[in-house]
Amino acid sequence: MPQKDKSLRESIIKMTALDELHEVYNRNNIDYELYKDKFSLKTANSGVAEYGIKLSEAAPTLIIKADENIIAAIIRGDTRISFKKLKELFKIKNIRLVTEEEIYNLTGAKIGEVSLINKDIKTLIDEKVLEKKYIYGGCGIANHTLKIKVIDLIKITKATVSDFTNLKRL
């Protein structure tokens, strides 16, 4: 497929996906905004630089394998996952971040693009996230960021809220 046709096809797919996101969020009365990024945001720090927000407002979604269960873990950018806390929470021994390939196979997104809202994946939100009214994170579409009201994120994902992070030492 010529590059021009491929780019047009990718643009159409992205527009359709964005329309679907708007439709789902609006149908569920979600308080949100979608932003077009100037460059690809791969880390919480790049989101801070792009939007002038605090690191605690950036919310990466990490995909975790806990024994045989897949979990979308949403944390604040100024925290780190505590695998010790997660092992105690789930009463398991084996827990890890999934690989880049597994992320793509599970979510259809690349690292840095994983959506805060993942259909068919159990969502776990760290309790420190609740200290913020809004957070910024991935929406599953390259070069786009979702700003969402935390309470609405919990509602739409049916998330479990728990303490499973520690503050980063800055």
CATH for 120: 3.90.960.10
Q: What is the DSSP string of 22-49?
A: HHHHHHTT--EEEEE-SS---SHHHHHH
Q: Tell me: the pLDDT tens digits for 78-106? A: 999 999 999 999 999 999 999 999 999 99
Look at residue 148 and tell me if it is in a domain: yes
What is the domain extent for residue 121?
32-167
Structure confidence at residue 8 as a pLDDT band (50, 70, 90) = very low
Look at residue 7 and tell me if it is in a domain: no
Look at residue 17 and tell me if it is in a domain: no
Q: Tell me: the pLDDT tens digits for 53-86? A: 999 999 999 999 999 999 999 999 999 999 999 9
**What's the pLDDT at 22?**
84
Domain count along the chain? 1
How many H-runs (helices) and E-runs (strands) does the chain carry? 5, 10
**What tokens appear for 88 in the block?**
């105690």
d(CA 2, CA 28): 39
d(CA 1, CA 112): 27
**What's the pLDDT at 11?**
45
d(CA 101, CA 111): 9
What pTM was computed for the model? 0.88
